[in-house]
Amino acid sequence: MGSTECLKESVQRTYDGLADRLDAACHVTASPDHSRRGCPPIDMLCASVSQHLHAVDEVLLPSLPVHHDAHDYRAAEHQMSIVLSHVKAHEFGSSYETGFAWSRVWDDVLEAMAALRREEETIVLRLGDLLGDDELHKVTEKMQRKEPREPTRPHPYLPHKGPGGQMARRVMRVVDGFWDTTEGRYVPVPEHPVRKPPGRVSQYFMGNPRFDPED
């Protein structure tokens, strides 16, 4: 049995950040018939939640043994994905959304996010009973590394588990990136590690030597 503090703190930071994004999106004001194309707070909320959902599918759930059922989390995840799809449709002025006020949409998001967090925290507790400290740290680090590079849309009806889910996420990373650019959506940009300057051998092979001033 390991300590789940690292993973619990990571999940808490994630949901605190999502709550801040939700608060920012809720305070966007516009007329009811306004199509909010390219609205940064709404786009960033949808993309951030979607990336977290995919990261949980990619890292957290596969860490559970097969006999541990994640049915309740799957149900909460599916509901969150459906709600996010409604948010995007509402933002882009879908005619199917004209009967819903933004206040009702945000209430649905808040309810779905609370249920999702509750089920994810339950999974974290289960992992604490099953994994040691080193394994929990590895899971936490992998979640933090994978999440910024996951698909930026929810895809509730595509596979989530096993090889089919991995293949779907791999394809959707490319597809989502294309449509994000085409539609002008604002999405989180993953940080790239700072590369060390090339050494002398690398400079030699690149044919681009750089000499220090004292040389």
Query: What is the 3-class SS of the chain, one letter each residue?
Result: CCCCHHHHHHHHHHHHHHHHHHHHHHCCCCCCCCCCCCCHHHHHHHHHHHHHHHHHHHHHHHHCCCCCCCHHHHHHHHHHHHHHHHHHHHHCCCHHHCCCCHHHHHHHHHHHHHHHHHHHHHHHHHHHHHCCHHHHHHHHHHHHHHHHHCCCCCCCCCCCCHHHHHHHHHHHHHHHHHHHHHHCCCCCCCCCCCCCCCCHHHHHHHCCCCCCCCC
102 domain-assigned: yes
Q: What is the rounded distance in angstroms from the CA atom of residue 56 to the CA atom of residue 144? A: 10
Whether residue 203 lies inside any domain: the answer is no
On the CB side of 209, CA atoms within 13 Å amount to 7
CA Rg value for the chain:
21
CA distance 129 to 176: 36
Q: Is residue 41 part of a domain?
A: yes
**Positions in the chain short of pLDDT 50:** 215
Residue 197 belongs to a domain: no
Q: Identify the pLDDT of residue 100.
A: 84
| Within-domain flag for 204 | no
Whether 118 and 125 have beta carbons less than 8 Å apart is answered as no
Residue 48 lies in a domain: yes
Q: In terms of Cα–Cα distance, which of 72, 80, 88, 157 is closest to 112?
A: 80
Q: Find the domain containing 115 and state its range.
A: 5-191
The per-residue pLDDT for 12 is 95
* pLDDT at residue number 191: 60
Q: Say how many domains are in the chain.
A: 1
Tell me: the pLDDT tens digits for 128-137?
988 899 999 9
Q: Is residue 215 part of a domain?
A: no
Residue 45 pLDDT: 96
